[in-house]
């Protein structure tokens, strides 16, 4: 990851200049890097392709983790941990898997000053090590299903990297399950995809299209791959999560066998699924604007920031009231930050917290206290209004819910406005060139048509959404009969 972001100034007494953040319309990609750096989400490190996630960015990740973890446990999954290193010979066991990952693998060939007899790879994903352990743990149909999730870091040697979106090392969760029947494995694969969709839309306010990947885009070694795809503010798609039905491919390669109810020896049916810190990149590019980050309340480290207005002996008059307000909001379960630093002006603080995406700002000064009210500013609409101090906790809770819903609605509207249909290849090319976004088109199922479209327009087949698997029409590329409608986009 090369140093591309401008260095943020900050730290001064004056309001930060909005020019510190490149406008989206000028250069979306630079806007993104500016927001990541200036909002203190992540920073570059001396390690090529690896970022440091700063406390504010990590707090978002923790909220994502907690919320997902709760959902995994509610659907019967448990957490465990497996080694970071994988013996090279194990990785070689599943042919398609190794072909898919070999170019991206980091190798360990030396330990201390000794050459290793067998090199190790740093996990790019854990199917092979977990599959090996499952072959020891699973003996009978009574041992199934196994429903394990791991929170971990993985390493994929990337040539071009961008903070959160593609980094050499990243954080994620990877679920690995084993089942008695093919039907149960398929049910699990789809259950998790639905869980991811609900998470993305409910918590991140990020609408996603859920569907099946084409052969060329599926996970190396999987029978079927499903994804959720989001649309970013620049009209490019982001694959935000995947769920794979691995069939018996890994069970056969790693001898995950069990004695069935009929006493015969059978191979298990396995799945794997994951989402990563990439979600944070999605969050930034779904909601952010020229003033910086906009965080949906459910994943905002601070949902409310209170800025006291320092007039007169404010530390004896305003500050106690601000503290009372802080305590009251905290009692309501709201994550609140009282910014009482006196080295910064209120104007500086307003711009700073706006840039860092805090959903609600509350201003409180001597005049407000006289009127028993506070001034409330929303980050999403930047609208300001007054709220009475009485029942402020309930009012702010309602406001946070309203903002959460409004962000999802706004993102949905944006996606609708940036999704079009193409009946012919000319229409398709015009749509892809003219307006960024999704283009829905018939597809004959041929990998050749898909590859030509990609080569000529840079658009990839994102997925075939549920409900579009049997729509008769004609292939947008070759004109022959098609039986599915696919969603195409230029993608991250
Ligand atoms: Zn075709």
Rounded CA-CA distance 71/186 in Å is 19
* 3-class state of residue 247 by DSSP: coil
Q: Which of 203, 261, 103 is nearest to 411 (CA)?
A: 203
Q: Whose structure tokens read 């999802």?
A: 408
Backbone torsion region of residue 391, taken as left when φ is above 0, otherwise alpha when ψ lies between -120 and 50, otherwise beta: left
What's the angle, vertex CA 162, arms to CA 159 and CA 164, rounded to 5? 125
Give the Å distance between the CA of 445 and the centre of ligand 1.
6
What's the whole-number mean pLDDT along residues 174-189? 98
Q: Are 482 and 450 in contact (CB under 8 A)?
A: no
> Is pLDDT at 107 greater than 50 in this prediction?
yes
Please, what is the average pLDDT of the chain? 94
Give the Å distance between the CA of 437 and the centre of ligand 1.
21
Give the Å distance between the CA of 88 and the centre of ligand 1.
39
Q: pLDDT digit string (tens) for 341-354?
A: 999 999 999 999 99
The b-or-e profile of 303-322 (16+ CB within 10 A means b, else e) is: bbbbbbbbeeebeebbbebb
What is the structure's pLDDT at 93?
84
Burial class of residue 260 (count of CB atoms within 10 Å of its CB; 0-12, 13-18, 19+) = middle
Give the Å distance between the CA of 446 and the centre of ligand 1.
6
Q: pLDDT digit string (tens) for 164-173?
A: 999 999 999 9
Give the Å distance between the CA of 456 and the centre of ligand 1.
14
CB count within 10 Å of CB 372 equals 11
Give the Å distance between the CA of 448 and the centre of ligand 1.
7
Kindly give, in sequence order, each residue whose CB lies less than 8 Å from that of residue 462, ignoring residues fewer than 6 positions away. 209, 211, 227, 229, 237, 239, 438, 486, 487, 488, 489, 491
Provide φ and ψ at 352, rounded to 5°: -65, -50
H/E stretch holding 367 reads helix 366-370
Give the Å distance between the CA of 470 and the centre of ligand 1.
15
C-alpha dihedral over 335, 339, 340, 342, to 10 degrees?
170
* 3-class state of residue 339 by DSSP: coil
Give the Å distance between the CA of 469 and the centre of ligand 1.
15
Helix, strand, coil % in the chain, rounded to nearest 5: 35, 30, 35
Give the Å distance between the CA of 218 and the centre of ligand 1.
19
- Whether the CA torsion 196, 198, 204, 205 is positive or negative: it is positive
What is the structure's pLDDT at 197?
98
Give the Å distance between the CA of 421 and the centre of ligand 1.
16
> Is pLDDT at 9 greater than 60 in this prediction?
no
What's the whole-number mean pLDDT along residues 267-272? 98
**% the chain with pLDDT above 70:** 96
- Whether the CA torsion 183, 206, 303, 41 is positive or negative: it is positive
For 143, half-sphere exposure in the C-beta direction (CA atoms, 13 angstrom radius) is: 19
What's the whole-number mean pLDDT along residues 110-118? 95
**Beta strands in 156-222, from DSSP E residues, in sequence order:** 169-179, 208-212
What is the structure's pLDDT at 20?
82
Q: How far is CA 140 from the centre of its chain?
A: 37
> Is pLDDT at 26 greater than 50 in this prediction?
yes
43-52, 334-343, 431-440: which has the minimum mean pLDDT? 431-440
State the pLDDT confidence band at 3, using cuts at 50, 70 and 90.
very low
CA distances 28 to 54, 287, 491, Å, are 22, 13, 14
> Is pLDDT at 80 greater than 90 in this prediction?
yes
């Amino acid at each position: 990851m090369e140093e591309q972001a401008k260095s943020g100034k900050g730290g001064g007494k004056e309001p930060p200049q909005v020019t510190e953040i490149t406008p989206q319309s000028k250069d979306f990609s630079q806007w993104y890097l500016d927001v990541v750096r200036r909002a203190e989400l992540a920073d570059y490190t001396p390690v090529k392709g690896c970022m440091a996630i700063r406390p504010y960015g990590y707090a978002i990740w923790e909220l994502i983790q907690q919320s997902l973890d709760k959902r995994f446990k509610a659907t019967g999954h448990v957490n465990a941990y497996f080694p970071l290193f994988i013996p090279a010979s194990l990785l070689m066991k599943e042919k398609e898997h190794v072909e898919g990952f070999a170019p991206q693998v980091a190798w360990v060939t030396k330990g201390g000053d000794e050459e290793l007899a067998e090199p190790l790879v740093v996990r790019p994903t854990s199917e092979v090590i977990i599959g090996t352990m499952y072959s020891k743990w699973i003996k009978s149909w009574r041992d199934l299903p196994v429903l394990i999730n791991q929170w971990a870091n993985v390493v994929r040697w990337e040539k071009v990297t961008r903070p959160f979106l593609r980094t050499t090392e990243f954080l994620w969760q990877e679920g690995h399950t084993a089942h008695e029947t093919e039907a149960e494995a398929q049910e699990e694969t789809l259950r998790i995809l639905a869980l991811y969709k609900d998470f993305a839309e409910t918590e991140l306010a990020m609408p996603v299209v859920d569907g099946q990947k084409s052969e060329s885009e599926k996970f190396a070694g999987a029978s079927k791959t499903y994804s959720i795809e989001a649309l970013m503010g620049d009209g490019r798609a982001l694959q935000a999560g995947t769920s794979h039905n691995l069939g018996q491919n890994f069970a056969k390669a790693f001898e995950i066998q069990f004695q069935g109810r009929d006493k015969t020896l059978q191979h298990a049916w396995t799945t794997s699924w994951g989402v990563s810190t990439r979600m944070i990149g999605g969050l930034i590019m779904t909601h952010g604007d020229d003033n910086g980050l906009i965080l949906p309340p459910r994943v905002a480290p601070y949902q409310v920031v209170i800025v006291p207005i320092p007039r007169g002996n404010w530390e004896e008059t305003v500050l106690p009231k601000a503290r009372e307000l802080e305590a009251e909001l905290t009692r309501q379960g709201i994550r609140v930050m009282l910014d009482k630093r006196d080295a910064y002006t209120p104007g500086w603080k307003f711009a700073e917290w706006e840039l860092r995406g805090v959903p609600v700002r509350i201003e409180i000064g001597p005049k407000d206290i006289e009127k028993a009210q506070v001034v409330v500013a929303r980050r999403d609409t930047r609208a300001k209004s007054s709220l009475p101090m009485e029942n402020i906790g309930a009012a702010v809770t309602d406001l946070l819910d309203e903002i959460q819903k409004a962000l999802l609605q706004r993102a949905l509207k944006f996606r609708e406005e940036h999704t079009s249909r193409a009946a012919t290849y000319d229409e398709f090319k015009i749509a892809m060139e003219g307006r960024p976004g999704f283009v829905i088109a018939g597809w004959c199922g041929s990998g050749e048509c898909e590859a030509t479209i990609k080569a000529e327009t840079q658009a990839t087949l994102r997925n075939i959404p549920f409900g579009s698997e049997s729509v008769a029409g004609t292939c947008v590329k070759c004109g022959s009969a098609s039986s599915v409608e696919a969603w195409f986009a230029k993608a991250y």
